[in-house]
A and B are shown apart, each in its own frame.
Chain A
Amino acid sequence: MNALRTTALALWMLLLALPAAAVIETYEFSEPELEQRYRALSQELRCPKCQNQNIADSNAPISQDLRRLLHQQLEAGASDREILEFMVARYGEFVRYRPAFNAATAILWLAPVLLLLAGAAGLLMLLRGRKQSPTTLDSDDEARLTALLQTAEKDA
């Protein structure tokens, strides 16, 4: 039992260590606050080469360069805004996972809301249609129905 627990604990610790292998190089920061901002920014910036990874996860040479630049700029006292502007000026809004809202990115930001509204509208129409469905027949229709049923019986 004890051995099992130790093994489980060891495995769990191994799992915890996995994120450490994601990036090869490590940077020293003069202040812990800078390191936190480095983490946040490197997760928000997208690798221009691999496109579906952020620069924190990617080992592409360009991501290494951008991480180095990020570290340099943070240590030089640049604000988050300045750093993002620097990156966007070179690689376009594409480089951010949360692009600024403008004419080109409007569809990206609004599509989820629009789709949700369309879905809600569709659902509403469906529910309203269902409520109306048990319609009562007026006397003309009733007469036609009995006539039709009689002919059907005769044919059978």
Chain B
Amino acid sequence: MAPRLKLFLPLILFLVLAAFLFRGLSLDPMAMPSALIDQPLPDFQLTALADDRPLSRADVIGEPALFNVWATWCISCRVEHPYLQQLADSGVPIYGINYKDEDTAARRWLRDLGDPYRANIVDREGTLGVDLGVYGAPETYLVDADGVIRYRHVGVIDERVWRDTLEPLWREVLALETTP
């Protein structure tokens, strides 16, 4: 190595380090890829919140839909709720997964705040949650007409998340359903 170049070595090292650190500023350390992307929605035998009738995977797939993991103990779910209602009103089918919750509290929540869900799967023990790789609420899964998970969003869905991330994917999934 030329001696002149050697003098610049600390500067070069600093620039490389600075580039990595700068990139790190805009990375979300909590972001975690879902292991279930492009995997089928796991099978389950649970009940519906509304009337306790049995509910399984076959009952909820067939058309593209969102699967929203929520619970009454989850503060962010309350924040998210009005926007879910808005989405449901605009025609997006949403299924709820009532995650590790109490039925009476969950029913009261839906009565008081409105019910954006097609149906609610009661996952009292969190078994479906584990099969989905859920680690908190709210989480929302985009499932296509074949019952394949296409995307997972961790955290609250608001207008920005829908517009920037979910809506483009949603349109893609809808387009796939109508073409063949």
Residues of A within 8 A of B (CB): 48-49, 51, 61-62, 65-66, 69, 88-92, 94, 125
Contact with A along B60-80 (1 / 0, CB 8 A): 000000000000000000000
Residues of A within 8 A of B136 (CB): 49, 62
Q: How far is the CA of A89 from the CA of B38 in the complex (A)?
A: 12
**Is there contact, CB below 8 Å, between B126 and A88?**
no
What's the dominant secondary structure at chain B's contact region? loop
Q: Across the two chains, which residue of chain A brings its CB closest to B134?
A: A62
CB distance from A6 to the nearest CB of B (A): 47
CB distance from A50 to the nearest CB of B (A): 9
- B1, B30, B130, B131: residue with the most chain A Cβ atoms closer than 10 Å: B130
**Is there contact, CB below 8 Å, between B32 and A48?**
yes
Q: Across the two chains, which residue of chain B brings its CB closest to A104?
A: B33
Interface residue B133 (Cβ < 8 Å from any Cβ of A): yes
Interface residues on B, range: 10 to 19
Residues of B within 8 A of A88 (CB): 35
Interface residue B135 (Cβ < 8 Å from any Cβ of A): yes
Residues of B within 8 A of A (CB): 1, 29-30, 32-36, 100, 126, 129-136
Residues of A within 8 A of B126 (CB): 61-62, 65
Q: How far is the CA of A125 from the CA of B32 in the complex (A)?
A: 41
Partner of A92, one of B29, B32, B132: B32
Q: How far is the CA of A125 from the CA of B5 in the complex (A)?
A: 14
Q: A48-B135, A49-B135 are in contact. Are A65 and B34 (CB under 8 A)?
A: no
Residues of A within 8 A of B36 (CB): 90
Residues of B within 8 A of A69 (CB): 130
Q: How far is the CA of A92 from the CA of B34 in the complex (A)?
A: 7
Residues of B within 8 A of A48 (CB): 32, 133, 135
The 12 sampled A-B contact pairs (Cβ below 8 Å) are A48-B135, A61-B126, A65-B130, A66-B130, A69-B130, A90-B35, A90-B130, A91-B135, A92-B33, A92-B34, A92-B35, A92-B133
**Is there contact, CB below 8 Å, between B130 and A94?**
no
Residues of B within 8 A of A61 (CB): 100, 126
Residues of B within 8 A of A94 (CB): 32-33
